[in-house]
């Protein structure tokens, strides 16, 4: 009954707003008037469209003048309001001129994508309709779409579609944090009530030294501290050394520690290394330890038949992190946590409140606030849904294969031009250094090259260190728009910078 009354009231209000807009001040400031909205929509759309169509004529990274940036920002003063048009112009200008453009085909950086156009529409629609996904009853349509996606991705990774569950989250870091919580609750069922201090043994978990640092943060947030993180050495391909893992578990068991999770990485951030998930799964199942696979970026390889063998064993994971905002090219903020234990999230997150709508379970629904870290929830899944619905699995298979080919082409071109490739991966991350002159392989030289590439505005790459502390250059094909000509341009630029630096030192 109450709902019915509210409904009628809202329809009434909506009609008033639409047909007879009153002009009391709050409304004018927050809703703006119809005429303004009309012209601002057009401006926003034109800004977005010209960004998309002209990005490749832009510098990849801005010329950074810290003082100038600070003075631009402090020119805004919230004591004096500005017009909506000048506010939008201010932001559009800042975003165009003062950021690294990961949408640029010459961006060979970290795993930041050029966003799919369907994903941009999705984020705009989500902002406007502002669905609340905390409980099923508020938004059954949106919740069911996310559940459909979760089951579909779970099935792709080889989980039983009917028995798996998961949640959308901000990204891989939150998904990894969620994995840690799930693994803890799984191993220590009483931990929610009794806390860590009730444990007789010290909980420890295992990652490779090339794993993502979000696990260290997650250990801190869970009150485990850095001492609980066992960093296992990697082999010559920067993959977790499975023998070392076994030995470390043995040692810990003897020392009164309680191993509760092991992490396999499918595509490390540094070099795209894929751990031997199958072997790690054998150890974890023998020891009854939760296996989490961090496939934030590399997981997309599961969509390409010829790349699937590299992820063999991933279906044996207890949970998986996967980021749609990396290789699936949706706008940022689209992590996915997947698990084949349908009740584990609920066991970790269940709580009862007086103020939330009645649990939706009785309608066959699913309440995300009882199954995830988040409470109020944005409809993250829509950008994945719209992109996937339009591209299809086949479309994604093609684009991932294409980018993989671009990675191979980059390796070829680099080798042809006397650069030495130092990592081994089927994924399009290339770590390299100057092949000819080992003296020039040093840290300073490598960093100088990366700095000069960035400063040129022509491309973006980075410098990193692999586990034996070798400084290397790192270039990753992250963009579905990157073509062979872009790769030749990058290698040409690298050659030019190397030549100049060599001339300077001679
Ligand atoms: C990017 C990445 C993360 C972190 O994910 P965010 O989406 O940045 O939070 C974790 N693990 C791996 C392997 C990654 O590549």
pLDDT value of residue 4: 46
The atom of ligand 1 lying closest to the CA of 267 is 13
Mutate to test the pocket of ligand 1, among 178, 179, 320, 323 (most ligand atoms within 8 A of CB): 323
Q: Measured from the CB, is residue 171 less than 6 Å from ligand 1?
A: yes
Residue 328, CA distances (Å) to 118, 360, 391, 404 in order: 12, 31, 10, 13
The Cα 402–Cα 130 span in angstroms is 35
Output the pLDDT for position 435: 86
Please work out whether the CB of residue 290 comes within 6 Å of at least one atom of ligand 1. Answer: no
CA dist 216 and 221 (Å) reads: 9
For residue 172, the CA-to-ligand 1 centroid distance in Å is: 4
Tell me the CB-side half-sphere exposure of residue 3, using CA atoms within 13 A.
3
- Rounded CA gap, 475 and 455, in Å? 16
Neighbours of 65 (CB within 10 A): 11
Sheet arrangement for strand 419-421: 419-421, 429-434, 471-476, 462-465
Q: Is 172 in the pocket of ligand 1 (CB under 6 A)?
A: yes
Q: Is the CB of residue 487 less than 8 Å from the CB of residue 410? A: yes
Q: What are the CA-CA distances from residue 344 to residues 182, 198, 204, 326, 351 (Å)?
A: 6, 21, 19, 26, 14
What distance in Å separates the CA atoms of residue 132 and residue 357, rounded to the nearest whole number? 12
Give the Å distance between the CA of 110 and the centre of ligand 1: 10
Residue 447, pLDDT score: 93
Record the pTM.
0.94
For a mutational test of ligand 1's pocket, the pick from 109, 111, 298, i.e. the residue with the most ligand atoms closer than 8 A to its C-beta, is 111
Nearest CA to ligand 1 atom 7: 171
Is the C-beta atom of 341 inside 6 A of ligand 1?
Answer: no
Return d(Cα 373, Cα 175) in angstroms, integer: 10
Whether 384 and 303 have beta carbons less than 8 Å apart is answered as: no
413 and 487 Cβ atoms separated by less than 8 Å: yes
CA distance 297 to 100: 20
Task: Please tell me the distance between residue 443's alpha carbon and the centre of ligand 1 in angstroms.
Answer: 25
Name the residue with the closest Cα to ligand 1, atom 4.
172
Q: Mean pLDDT in runs of 10 for the chain (506 residues)?
A: 47 52 72 94 97 95 90 90 94 95 96 96 98 92 97 98 95 98 97 95 97 97 97 96 98 96 97 98 98 98 98 98 98 98 93 74 78 95 98 98 98 97 96 79 87 97 86 95 98 96 81
Read off the tokens for 121. 């529409």
Mutation choice for ligand 1 from 207, 215, 218, 296, CB with most ligand atoms inside 8 A: 296
Nearest CA to ligand 1 atom 10: 172
Dist. CA 24–CA 13, nearest whole Å: 14
CA–CA gap between residue 268 and residue 208 (Å, rounded) = 10
The answer to whether the CB of 478 is under 6 A from ligand 1 is no
**Distance from the alpha carbon of residue 433 to the mean position of ligand 1, in angstroms:** 25
Neighbour count for residue 144 (Cβ, 10 Å): 14
Q: Report which protein residue has its CA nearest ligand 1's atom 12.
A: 296
Q: What is the pLDDT of residue 1?
A: 39
């Amino acid at each position: 009954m109450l709902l019915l009354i509210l409904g009628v009231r809202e329809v009434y209000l909506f009609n008033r707003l639409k047909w007879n807009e009153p002009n009391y001040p709050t409304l004018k400031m927050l809703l703006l008037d119809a005429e303004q909205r009309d012209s601002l929509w057009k401006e926003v759309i034109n800004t977005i469209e010209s960004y998309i169509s002209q990005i490749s004529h832009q510098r990849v990274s801005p010329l950074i003048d810290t003082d100038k940036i600070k003075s631009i920002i402090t020119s805004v003063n919230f004591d004096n309001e500005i017009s909506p048009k000048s506010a939008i112009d201010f932001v559009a200008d800042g975003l165009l001129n003062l950021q690294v453009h990961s949408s640029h085909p010459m961006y060979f950086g970290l795993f930041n994508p050029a966003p799919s156009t369907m994903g941009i529409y999705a984020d705009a629609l989500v902002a406007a309709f502002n669905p609340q996904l905390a409980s099923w009853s508020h938004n059954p349509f949106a919740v069911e779409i996310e559940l459909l996606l979760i089951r579909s991705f779970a099935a792709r990774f080889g989980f039983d579609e009917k028995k798996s569950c998961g949640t959308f989250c901000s990204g891989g870091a939150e998904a990894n944090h969620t994995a840690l919580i799930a693994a803890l609750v799984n191993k220590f069922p009483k931990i929610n009530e009794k806390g860590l201090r009730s444990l007789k043994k010290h909980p420890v978990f295992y990652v490779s030294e090339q794993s993502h640092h979000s696990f260290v943060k997650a250990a801190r947030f869970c009150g485990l501290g850095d001492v609980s993180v066992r960093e296992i050495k990697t082999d010559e391909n920067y993959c977790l050394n499975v023998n070392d893992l076994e030995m470390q578990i043995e040692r810990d068991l003897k020392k009164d520690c309680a191993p509760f999770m092991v992490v396999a990485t499918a595509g490390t951030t540094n070099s795209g290394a894929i751990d031997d998930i199958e072997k790690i799964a054998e150890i974890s199942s023998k020891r009854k330890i939760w296996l989490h696979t961090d496939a934030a970026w590399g997981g997309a390889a599961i969509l390409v038949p010829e790349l699937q063998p590299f992820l063999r064993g991933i279906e044996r994971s207890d949970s998986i992190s996967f980021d749609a905002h990396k290789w699936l090219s949706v706008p940022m903020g689209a992590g996915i946590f997947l698990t084949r234990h349908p009740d584990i999230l609920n066991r970790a997150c269940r709580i009862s409140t007086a103020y939330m709508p009645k649990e939706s379970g009785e309608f066959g629904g699913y309440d995300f606030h009882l199954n995830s870290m988040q409470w109020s929830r944005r409809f993250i899944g829509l950008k994945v849904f719209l992109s996937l619905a339009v591209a299809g699995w086949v479309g994604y298979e093609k684009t991932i294969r294409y980018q993989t080919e671009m990675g191979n082409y980059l390796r070829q071109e680099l080798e042809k031009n006397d650069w030495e490739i130092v990592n081994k991966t089927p994924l399009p991350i290339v770590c390299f250094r100057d092949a000819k002159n080992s003296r020039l392989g040093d840290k300073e030289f490598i960093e100088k090259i990366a700095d000069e590439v960035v400063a040129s505005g022509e491309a973006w790459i980075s410098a990193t260190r692999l586990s034996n502390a070798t400084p290397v250059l790192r270039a990753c094909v992250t963009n579905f728009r990157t073509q062979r000509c872009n790769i030749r341009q990058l290698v040409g630029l690298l050659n030019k910078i190397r030549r100049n630096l060599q001339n300077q030192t001679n």
